[in-house]
Amino acid sequence: MKKVIILGSTNVDTILNVQRFPQPGETMAMNSMAVAGGGKGANQAIAAVRSGAETTFISKVGHEGAANFMLDTFKEDGMNIDHVTTSETAGTGQAYIMVDENGQNSILIYGGANQDITNEDIQAAKGSIKAADRIVAQFEVPIPSVIEAFKIARENDVQTILNPAPAIKNIPDDLLSVTDMIVPNETESEIITGIKVTDEASMEASAKEFFKMGVKAVIITVGDRGSFYATSEQSGFVNAFKVKAADTTAAGDTFIGALSSKLELDYSNLEEAMTYANKASSLAVQIKGAQNSIPYAKDILAD
């Protein structure tokens, strides 16, 4: 069983189901609305724990009822939430997600308490980070806190995986220097490297740019096509499972959380772990919503 730390955001998602996305200035009716748990960090932590990883979550929430709703969800899945703390100044993060009839989404984020995570919070979790196999983080929390956590990890031979989302063009060198693996989607990869991802050759070129930045391994996810991988020793492509998507929300987070639960630290089972993660994502996109759609290991391993 892998010991996984997830450092990241906790959001409450308001999901707006629409026939199509509105044009600028247009007013239109929704098909339906729902409220559910979300946030890239929380999604990835739930995906990891549901795939059998011993998962500790580092996050921050507000004082309101939304926070209790999220904490109850984490407890139900058996996640360690000793380092999910409460902000004294901000509410729990919020996300507003529009999903069209083809399952594509557009998302607006209010950071809230997620932006209150500090280096002091990371230091409080130092013992847990030191005891882990790997730590995963994204950019929905302050980058200085991610750097602090990854430095602790690197000093203690704990593998670091960065999901650079939402993407920023210039990732600080201090962070890249302590990142073992980076996992962007094709859009995020293009923003960071400047190389448009269109085929396997452009993915290879993108990976070389990431290697120049100092990371040791790269996975680029490309939606319903699958995912590309590259290390100093190997590269290749793992095809996605073909399904009809109802909602792509949390597909990438499901992939990363599931991957973190199965990947060996020496990448010896990289293709196998990616196939498992691709299947997890294929199950998630067939159900509307974020955390409620994230599958359990028994479902992913079923024929």
pLDDT of residue 49: 98
pLDDT at 46 over 90: yes
The Cα–Cα gap between 279 and 67 comes to 30
221 is in an annotated binding site: yes
300 is in an annotated binding site: no
43 is in an annotated binding site: yes
Asked if residue 263 lies in contact with residue 17, where contact means CB atoms within 8 angstroms, the answer is no
Question: Where residue 69 falls among pLDDT bands split at 50, 70, 90?
Answer: confident
105 is in an annotated binding site: no
The per-residue pLDDT of the chain, averaged, comes to 94
Torsion over CA: 64, 41, 248, 105 (sign): positive
Strand order in the sheet with 3-7: 80-86, 54-61, 3-7, 134-137, 159-162, 181-182, 217-221, 226-231, 235-239
Asked if residue 73 lies in contact with residue 19, where contact means CB atoms within 8 angstroms, the answer is no
116 is in an annotated binding site: no
Region 122-142 average pLDDT: 98
The pair of structure tokens assigned to 47 is: 């995906």
Kindly list the structural domains of the chain, giving each domain's residue range(s) and its CATH number in brackets, ordered by start: 3-301 (3.40.1190.20)
Phi, then psi, of 105 in degrees rounded to 5: -135, 155
The better pLDDT of the pair 64, 271 is held by 271
pLDDT at 80 over 70: yes
Per-residue pLDDT tens over the stretch 148-178: 999 999 999 999 999 999 999 999 999 999 9
The better pLDDT of the pair 303, 226 is held by 226
pLDDT of residue 13: 84
Asked if residue 14 lies in contact with residue 97, where contact means CB atoms within 8 angstroms, the answer is yes
11 is in an annotated binding site: yes
Per-residue pLDDT tens over the stretch 230-282: 999 999 999 999 898 887 778 999 999 999 999 999 999 999 999 999 999 99
Region 225-234 average pLDDT: 94
Question: Where residue 9 falls among pLDDT bands split at 50, 70, 90?
Answer: very high
Going through 18-173 in order, the beta strands assigned E by DSSP cover 32-38, 54-61, 80-86, 93-99, 105-110, 134-137, 159-162
pLDDT of residue 303: 65
Asked if residue 138 lies in contact with residue 167, where contact means CB atoms within 8 angstroms, the answer is no
Task: Indicate which residue of 116, 133, 180, 253 is catalytic.
Answer: 253
Q: Is 116 a catalytic residue?
A: no
